[in-house]
Structure 1
Amino acid sequence: MELIDTVSIDSLSKRDLLLIIKSLEYANKDTNIQDFIDLRNSIVKELCFLTNTSEETFLNYLETNS
């Protein structure tokens, strides 16, 4: 198996992205493991940077268009 250096999200739907983000939030609340919310925040921050939007705008877009 080849090592993965980067991960591409171009094949993920908006619904899938929202599901990943919400799942990480839920996992953090359910387990109190900080790594889940850190990963969620890192993903959202990077996606907001790539789309040049605020977190609120980006998440609203995912929620209304999924």
Structure 2
Amino acid sequence: MELIDHVSINALSKRDLLLIVKALEYTNENTGLNDFIDLRNSIIKELCFLTNTTEDQFVEYLETNN
């Protein structure tokens, strides 16, 4: 299991990332479990840091042409 200490998103498409984000939002809304929105926010925060964008800019980028 040490082989998966770091997860890479290089192979994920914009559509895949958008689906993950939206699925986490949907699951949070329908279960009330904050772990899902916390994970969504953590992913978005890290991706915004890596791309030097705001959350709004990054989500808009994912939503365009999908």
Q: Same fold (TM over 0.5)?
A: yes
TM-score of the pair, normalised by structure 1 = 0.94
* CA root-mean-square deviation: 0.8
Give 1:63's aligned residue.
63
**Count of residue correspondences:** 65
Structure 2: which amino acid aligns with 1:41? N
- Runs of 4+ residues deviating >3 angstroms: none
Query: Is 1:54 matched with 2:54?
Result: yes
C-alpha distance in 2, partners of 1:14/1:64?
9
Q: Identity of counterpart residues, as a percentage?
A: 69
Gap regions ≥5 residues in structure 1? none
Of structures 1 and 2, the one scoring higher in RCO (CA 8 A, sep 6+) is 1
Structure 2 unaligned residues grouped into runs of 5+:
none
